[in-house]
A and B are shown apart, each in its own frame.
Chain A
Amino acid sequence: MYELVTGPLAWLSFGIFFFGLFYRLVWYIRGLNWQMDRVSYTQNMVYGIKGALRSILFWLVPFGTRSWRYYPGFTILVFIFHICLLATPVFLMGHNVLLLERWGFSLPTLPEGIADFMTTCVIVSAVFIICRRIALPEVRILTKPYDLFVLAIAVAPFITGFFAFHQVGSYDFWIIAHVLCGEIMLVAIPFTKLSHFLLFFLSRAQMGMDYGIKRGGMKNKGMAW
């Protein structure tokens, strides 16, 4: 079983992940239309690129925008959740050992204690995110079961990985569940809201180009995000 989930299924899920995202990228860019969107993307490319970069970079920095500063608590939650969610699997020692065994190379790794802490951060922030969804009326009205389902997909690999690492119950069970959950997440990324893994950048770039080209970017120093 372990061989199956870390072998063919892993290949399949990574394949769907990469091809799916590539399809989303092409679909997004092909669907842009200068006249319908009312942004002259190609004719004013330099202003567009400047606007796009500004729009992405300011939003990648914690408290880098007015909106991030307006909601400081949620901002901290969002950044902790995303940084830990993205960095932990990439720099986890266990994953890199696997990488070294299979492909002969590995990335820098996080000390186990820190990786464990970051995993806990993902789980705890997810709990806070759910509490926020329930507690705040303006978020509650927007929340649908689908939002919780997507969050569950994103957090499941961390919960199962946590149990496997701490050997709660059967290690074999948890490690296979962990790999499967990770693969479900990879496959879900292109097809669900998790596509914001890529579409965050594309959507921000588009809005940045809109501001960089049409909404004042040619007449000022750039939008004060």
Chain B
Amino acid sequence: MPEGILCNKQVVDTKEKLNALLADKSGKQYYDEMTRLDVDTEALWATIEKTCKSRLRTWLEICAHCGMCADSCFIYLANKRDPKQVPSYKIQSTLGEIVKRKGKVDNEFMRYVMDTAWAKCTCCNRCATYCPFGIDMGVMFGYVRGLCFSHGFVPWELKIGSGMHRIYKAQMDITTEDWVDTCEWMVEEYEEDWPGLEIPVDKENADIIYTVNAREPKHYPEDLAEAAILFHIAGENWTVPSQGWEETSLAMFAGDWGACKLQVESVYAAMDRLKPKRMVVTECGHAYRATVLEGPYWAGIKSGKTPIESFHYVEWVAEALRTGKLKIDPAKKIKEPVTYQDSCNYIRNGGLGDYAREIMSYIAEDFREMKPCREHNFCCGGGGGLNGIGRYRKERNIGLTVKRDQILATGAKLVVTPCHNCWDAIRDLEEVYKIGIRWSFLKPLLLGMVEVPEHLLPREE
């Protein structure tokens, strides 16, 4: 079968196609069709010749096969050091083989490549920091995902996710109206306790444009309210855009580079339209990576920078605490042992480790680092889209054991997780392994301990 009805080489860009995929429960038909999907070997090789240039070719060629990447990979460690989980083996047996065979691979091989690219690598990029040549298997598997996507070999959920971005400019089916309604609803819910609370939509020339993860308006609208309250307490002049508010990119996880471009351009258009001074991104790791670090390249911005300067939420919180815009009530600081989950996307790959420590120094009395931590921390276990793929749930749960043991070793029962993926992975980790921990974004923790200026408190009638 050259192309399936659901599993094919086409992108999902209409609601009809999207609904057809969504109706296929757990992707049963989708994966069945995938077993018969033709591989266009000529097109595959043509793409490789055009895009697999000196950096990737050199990595494939000079890898010394020394195995120093082995222990850097949490999936290798979690799978009892299975040699087939050594990063170098994983890339050599997939991309390395495709290049060696000049693209002449079959359906079964491409399914092996897909299973490796999504279930055996979260693109955490840790191996790159352990390889003497700096060979980055995360970057290479990102590239492999792109090849897989364009040939129809992509996990069902991510085909849907990238379609959502193309249709809704968000990873979920949230329209502009839904989003603006949610902002208004949250103000109504909380304005009694916080007189004067606003979520200003499309305000021009604000100091901050705040952008979010679609899960927040869809599933956790209180997160949006908490952000609004903290900005309110800090006295920030801020806004959210009615369009271009979504920072995440399941398209990046899927390897759908066209959708990645469309998504980030919607955010950059909001910057151009509203002319804010800077952007603050919610507590999400891959969202920051996609829109702030990688996005400018997808959009063709030569400076590699977003149209206005952009900050992760931890940078804003650290600044607010440092400058006294937010003040912590010393009596309300976290007293119990607490640890911090360094997100690969903004700590290792964004360099924001110091900001996280600065925040913890203000809010925690007994902060305990995981080992290893900061740039060398292990992935939560659910990064790179792995959390959301049903086909690989078993593999994901095995991978979580490394994080479980890291957390247990700190002795902390509370894990600060300013990243949606980490937050989910650690929630699932507790559900599966029941180690008696709690986990939290920064916003609710901060709200529980900030000093509220007198004039912002509700007036007693």
Contact = CB atoms under 8 A, between A and B. Distances in A.
B129 A225 contact: yes
B352 A141 contact: no
Contact of A203 (B59, B66, B130, B302): B59
B58 to A, nearest CB: 5
B368 interface: no
Contacts of A195: 61-62
A31 B54 contact: yes
Given A206-B55, A224-B374, A55 B134 contact: yes
Interface in A53-87: 55, 59, 66-67, 70-71, 74, 78
List the 5 closest A-B pairs by CB distance, nearest first.
Answer: A216-B351, A31-B54, A207-B134, A40-B304, A142-B65
B375 A223 contact: yes
Interface string A143-157: 110010000000000
A216 B349 contact: yes
A140 B83 contact: yes
A39 interface: yes
Contacts of A32: 53-55
Given A199-B62, A203-B133, A220 B351 contact: yes
Contacts of A210: 136
Interface string B287-303: 00000011011001011
A214 B350 CA distance: 7
Interface in A23-69: 27-40, 43-44, 55, 59, 66-67
B334 to A, nearest CB: 25
B67 A138 contact: yes
Interface in A121-176: 133, 136-144, 147
A219 interface: yes
Contacts of A204: 133-134
A193 B62 contact: yes
Interface string A191-225: 00101100110111011101101111111100111
B36 interface: no
Contacts of A27: 54
Given A207-B136, A214-B293, A220-B354, A43 B53 contact: no
Contact of A44 (B54, B86, B303): B303
Contacts of B296: 40
